[in-house]
């Protein structure tokens, strides 16, 4: 599904974050050491190749809520923005830390004059954040930035399953009727 607010388009799609070839920057649901691993981080490091881990080593460790940017290497994307989401029940307040991830990623994207960005559902896998609550934080945070964007024109949320996509669609419809 797709909605345009001002001159910015928001999209929710089902897919793999490493297969967003039309997007300039993809976001990694990273770990503090910016290493490969399971979930999104594993998929991104496998697709980008070993040079990504080399560039990441110089930037690690990062704190919950932080975002750092690297090249995309073998990915079809020019950049990867690595965000460390909160571990649910551990890094508190979870909603503020998660919002900080989305805000910091958008700020970096604007600094690098990036026109399009794709986010996975940060913290909702291994880090245990309930998807509907995380979706609300993600969408509200992104929407709150729309009126001040100079470069971003397309913001895509990439969900890994039909059920995750339907949760995003439901929250989307509640926030932007
Ligand atoms: P975190 O450690 O921040 O929870 P995960 O990578 O474990 O990050 O999961 C974040 C979300 O991304 C989960 O909803 C998971 O289902 C989803 N996911 C896992 N692999 C991919 C992928 N290749 N593309 C898009 N989303 C993915």
CATH of the domain at 86: 3.40.220.10
| Bridging pattern class, strands 79-83 and 67-71 | antiparallel
Ligand 1 mutation target, pool 21, 120, 126, 132, most atoms within 8 A of CB: 120
d(CA 22, CA 66): 25
Q: Domain of 133?
A: 2-175
Outline where DSSP puts E strands in the chain.
2-5, 8-14, 25-29, 67-71, 79-83, 116-119, 154-159
Q: What is the pTM of this model?
A: 0.98
Q: Residue 102: its pLDDT value, please?
A: 98
Mutation test residue for ligand 1: of 19, 29, 133, the one with most atoms within 8 Å of CB: 29
Instruction: Tell the residue nearest (CA) to atom 23 of ligand 1.
Output: 16
| Tens of pLDDT, residues 63-121 | 999 999 999 999 999 999 999 999 999 999 999 999 999 999 999 999 999 999 999 99
The total domain count for the chain is 1
Residue of the CA atom closest to atom 19 of ligand 1 = 39
CB-ligand 1 contact for 40 (6 Å cutoff): yes
């Amino acid at each position: 599904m797709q909605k345009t607010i001002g001159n910015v388009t928001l999209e929710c799609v089902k897919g793999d974050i490493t297969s967003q070839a039309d997007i300039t920057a993809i976001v990694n649901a990273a770990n503090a050491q910016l290493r490969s691993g399971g979930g999104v981080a594993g998929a991104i490091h496998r697709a980008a190749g070993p040079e990504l881990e080399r560039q990441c080593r110089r930037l690690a460790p990062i704190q919950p809520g932080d975002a750092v940017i690297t090249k995309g290497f073998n990915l079809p994307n020019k950049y990867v923005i690595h965000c460390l989401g909160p571990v649910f029940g551990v890094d508190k307040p979870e909603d503020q830390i998660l919002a900080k991830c989305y805000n910091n990623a958008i700020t970096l994207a604007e600094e690098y004059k990036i026109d399009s960005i794709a986010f996975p559902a940060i913290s909702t896998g291994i880090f245990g954040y309930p998807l509907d609550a995380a979706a609300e934080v993600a969408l509200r945070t992104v929407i709150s930035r729309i009126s001040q964007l100079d470069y971003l024109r397309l913001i895509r949320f990439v969900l890994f399953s039909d059920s995750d996509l339907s949760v995003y669609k439901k929250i989307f419809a509640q926030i932007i009727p």
